[in-house]
Amino acid sequence: MEKERTLVLIKPDAVAKCLAGHVITDLYNLKLKMIAMKLVNVKKELAEKHYESLRDKPFFEKLIKHLTGELHGKENVIAIVYEGENAVKKIRDAAGKTHPEEADFTSIRGKYGRVDSRTDCFENVIHASDSRENAEKEIKLWFKK
């Protein structure tokens, strides 16, 4: 089967809580190849481009504050590209549902995520591309040549 690539962002909540190592260990178990990785100080512009399709959602502003680290002490994001058979689905399954409390408790979001009752922020630990097409678009955005 053709190799597939996908983007993972370990979000500032996870970095601030020293959970990045645990997340990466969980992802190692999927036997995909890590082909790129970097620490990113995410600016508003990049966050807004990344979540462009959600611009009209009521939670958009908070989502941008989450990704830029504004809600977590200006912490960075760890961006990783994984490659391998069914990489998109494998990582989405390992991540779990968007809402951390609805996510299977063995998934990354189920294990490490929470909803902050003061900000209502879904501290859901990671972003994972949802299709092959979006993965390619997102990889271009985060890993400019």
Q: Give the binding site for ligand UDP (CB under 6 A).
A: 54, 59, 63, 98, 122, 124, 127, 130
- Output 104 or 145, the one with its CB closest to ligand UDP: 104
Nearby residues of 120 by Cβ (< 8 Å), 6 or more positions away: 59, 62
Write down the catalytic residue from 50, 66, 72, 127: 127
Site for Mg ion in 56-75 (CB under 5 A): none
Closest residue to ligand UDP in the complex (CB): 98
Binding-site partner at residue 63 among ligand UDP, Mg ion, none, CB < 5 to 8 Å by type = ligand UDP
CA distance readout (Å), 25 to 19, 32, 113, 135: 10, 12, 16, 21
- Output 84 or 113, the one with its CB closest to ligand UDP: 113
Is 22 among the residues known to form the active site? no
Mark out the alpha helices in the chain (DSSP H runs): 12-16, 20-28, 44-50, 60-67, 87-95, 108-112, 132-142
Catalytic residue numbers? 127
Binding site for Mg ion (CB under 5 A): 130
